[in-house]
Amino acid sequence: MTVKLSHIEKNKAKMVDISSKKITKRIAIAEARVVFSKKTFNILINNGNTKGEIFSTARIAGIQAAKKTSELIPLCHKLNLDEISVDFDINIKKNEIKIISNCKCSGKTGVEMEALVSVTNAALTIYDMCKSLDKGIIVTDVKLKFKSGGKSGKFKND
């Protein structure tokens, strides 16, 4: 059985032709985790950070990244996004912040890459704003949690 990669044709990279696809409502949810030392996490949660309000900055960074995904990932189509949300789940017991991005559009191709780029950029923004306290912060577990729409239908990753 031959496995075909959608972005490779005759051993050359190509943008997928979506011209014959139907427009459907597309949703993708991605998440990432940022893990801190106990000391750094306590400073972040209890005292804030000298570079500004971390969560607002990371949220805007995640939204901006989703909008610019086609400029960052060479073979992604430019999408007109209908909604982008970036939220945070703070886990005090694990000294971590989970970032969740939800992207929606009506289009011919999915928004998985937009959601993944969104959480990654939000996580890197948090790292950037806290690196003066600790260079050992870990960005981990970037993954697609859910997608719907299009020919392949729903996907859920628990």
Can you tell me whether residue 46 is helix, strand or coil? helix
Q: Is 5 exposed, middle or buried (0-12, 13-18, 19+ CB in 10 A)?
A: exposed
pLDDT tens figures, 61-78: 999 999 999 999 999 999
Total-model pTM = 0.91
Decide if 89 is catalytic.
no
State mean pLDDT over 45-65.
82
pLDDT > 90? residue 144: yes
User: How many CA atoms are closer than 13 Å to the CA of 142, on its beta-carbon side?
Assistant: 15
In the structure, what pLDDT confidence band is assigned to residue 58 with cuts at 50, 70 and 90?
A: very high
Alpha-carbon gap, residue 22 to 58, rounded angstroms: 34
Arithmetic mean of pLDDT over the chain:
92
In the structure, what pLDDT confidence band is assigned to residue 50 with cuts at 50, 70 and 90?
A: very low
Q: Annotated catalytic residue: which of 128, 134, 141, 158?
A: 128
> Taking a C-beta distance cutoff of 8 angstroms, is the pair 56, 28 a contact?
no
Task: Identify the structural domains of the chain with CATH numbers, from first to last.
Answer: 23-148 (3.30.70.640)
pLDDT tens figures, 68-126: 999 999 999 999 999 999 999 999 999 999 999 999 999 999 999 999 999 999 999 99
